[in-house]
Amino acid sequence: METTLTTDLKTHNEARQGEAFAPFKVDETLYRKRFYIESYGCAMNFADSEVVASILHGKGFGATKNCEEADLIFINTCSIREKAESTVRKRLTEFKKLKKANPGILVGVLGCMAERLKEKFLQEEKLVDMVVGPDAYRSLPGLIEDAETGQKAVNVLLSRDETYADIAPIRLNSNGVNAFVSIMRGCNNMCSFCVVPFTRGRERSRDAASILNECRELFENGYREVTLLGQNVDSYHWTAPHSIDGIVDEPVTFAKLLEMVALISPLLRVRFSTSHPKDITDEVLFTIAKYDNICNYIHLPVQSGSSRVLQMMNRTYSREWYIAKVNRIREIIPDCGVSTDMITGFCTETEEDHQQSLSLMEYCHYDLAYMYFYSERPGTLAARRFADDVPEAVKKRRLQEMVELHRMHSLQSMQKDVGKTFKVLVEGFSKKTEADLHGRTDQNKVVVFPKENFQKGDYVIVNIHSCTAGTLLGKALSCAI
């Protein structure tokens, strides 16, 4: 079985696997049917589930957190690794039992696995009623009607322009402090190991005005942090389709968009994910450095420390080029937190290549790393061109070595913050006790401190007195604002 090892520090781009939505707090009798939705995969999939909830809500469906009382069960799926797909299949067998007990229930598969497997899903998983790809959520109400009358309900058409820009996501499971805001969809890179370009289609940027409206509205509703989401945010590019008095607006780049969101209010923190090393520009780095409320934290996945492997992965940069980028980040934003994604055991990877990955990690000293062993995905460039020739035991052993090295680095990164003072945005009670609060620093580290009179949404100046591998522990000095 595949193991995905990460440190226990969580970022917002990391998914909370299998999370279901909380119910709406309104008169339940108003709804004609109830839906339950469970999400897997990346933050973008979670953001999509909020769009789906909005579409269904608009058609008179109410959400429930309990799948046993639902008329419609949706599972928003991920295909990134084989393990992600097997988790979904296991969950579907549980839903099948519910459906056998109550044949009126409809089960729908959404997201990347729906897109990858298309109609095959209906044949493979006999008790699935709907298969809906990531660009087809507007057709859900119609598909539900088709499924209700026993018809085949499949829509996996990918679009070149769908961004759901006009749909206000429903933040059903939110803490009321942080929210994801989708700024683009799809991906035009063709990293050879990756299934995303096939499941999410061509890259397209969302109308900047609608992004700003969504962020503004979140702020007005008490939210204090937005995370701008895309597979490759640095290639965000949007130009207004109409000119006013013959003057065509300047195109909005990612740096410009960051600035526009940051200017909504100094009290609104701005994060973003994910940056591709080849696309992040000095302009973006200077914008981060310029605005206090744009967090000094960059997730910059490298995938491998070997230039030979990087070339086979089609990442379009070398080890040296990546190192120069990390140096540049640290030059322009000296206290920037940097995290990465790594893959061990990609096709043809030798011990020497692996050592290069470890030495790159030694050089970069990441604050956080998501590490995986290579999982071949059908249809990808790597699956078509290269043999998956590193034995699984070797992939896992290398992964383990990498995880151990990173554990040391992340502990050192936490330890160097002891004795320092940070501005922390409070997100809620600590997991262990309501006597403590938890929040995050600008650099995305989790801080726990005694509650005193502080509350969710406050910015608090906290002095750090100790740490664990994943958490800074401190004492509040004052409320920052």
Q: Which stretch binds ligand F3S (CB under 6 A): 42-50, 122-130, 156-164, 445-453?
A: 42-50
Query: What residues contact 284, with CB distance under 8 A and at least 6 apart?
Result: 234, 254, 255, 258, 275
Choose, by CB under 6 A, the member of 11, 49, 79, 155 that binds ligand F3S.
Answer: 79
Q: Does 196 bind ligand F3S (CB under 6 A)?
A: yes
Query: What residues contact 103, with CB distance under 8 A and at least 6 apart?
Result: none
Choose, by CB under 6 A, the member of 372, 422, 449, 454 that binds ligand SAM.
Answer: 372
Q: Does 425 bind ligand F3S (CB under 6 A)?
A: no
How many C-beta atoms lie closer than 10 Å to residue 33's C-beta? 16
Q: Does 343 bind ligand SAM (CB under 6 A)?
A: yes
User: What secondary structure does DSSP assign to 282-327, as a single string?
Assistant: HHHHHHHHH-TTB-SEEE---B-S-HHHHHHHT-S--HHHHHHHHH
Q: Which CA distances in Å does 242 have to 99, 170, 239, 297?
A: 50, 29, 9, 35
Q: Does 41 bind ligand F3S (CB under 6 A)?
A: yes
Q: Does 163 bind ligand F3S (CB under 6 A)?
A: no
Q: Which stretch binds ligand F3S (CB under 6 A): 168-176, 195-203, 254-262, 328-336?
A: 195-203
User: Of 64 and 380, which has the nearer Cβ to ligand SAM?
Assistant: 380
In the numeric block, the tokens 């209700």 are attached to 148
Q: Does 205 bind ligand SAM (CB under 6 A)?
A: no
Choose, by CB under 6 A, the member of 7, 11, 45, 210 that binds ligand F3S.
Answer: 45
Q: Does 299 bind ligand F3S (CB under 6 A)?
A: no
Query: What residues contact 196, with CB distance under 8 A and at least 6 apart?
Result: 80, 112, 187, 231
Q: Which two tokens stand for residue 195?
A: 């299934």
Q: Does 395 bind ligand SAM (CB under 6 A)?
A: no
Choose, by CB under 6 A, the member of 194, 233, 298, 310 that binds ligand SAM.
Answer: 194
Q: How many residues bind ligand SAM (CB under 6 A)?
A: 18
Q: Which two tokens stand for residue 429?
A: 């009670």
| Cα–Cα distance measured from residue 208 to residue 251, given in angstroms and rounded to the nearest whole number | 10
Q: How many CA atoms lie within 13 A of 458 on its CB side?
A: 19
Q: Which stretch binds ligand F3S (CB under 6 A): 41-49, 233-241, 279-287, 366-374?
A: 41-49
Residue 288's binding partner out of ligand SF4, ligand F3S, ligand SAM, none, with CB under 5 to 8 Å set by partner kind: none
Q: Which two tokens stand for residue 78?
A: 């991920």
User: What is the gyration radius of the CA atoms in the chain, in angstroms?
Assistant: 23
Residues 103-122 that bind ligand F3S (CB under 6 A): 111-112
Chain positions contacting ligand SAM, by CB under 6 A:
42, 80-81, 193-194, 196, 231-232, 274, 276, 301, 303, 341, 343, 372, 374-375, 377
Residues that bind ligand F3S (CB under 6 A): 41-42, 44-45, 78-80, 111-112, 195-196, 199-200
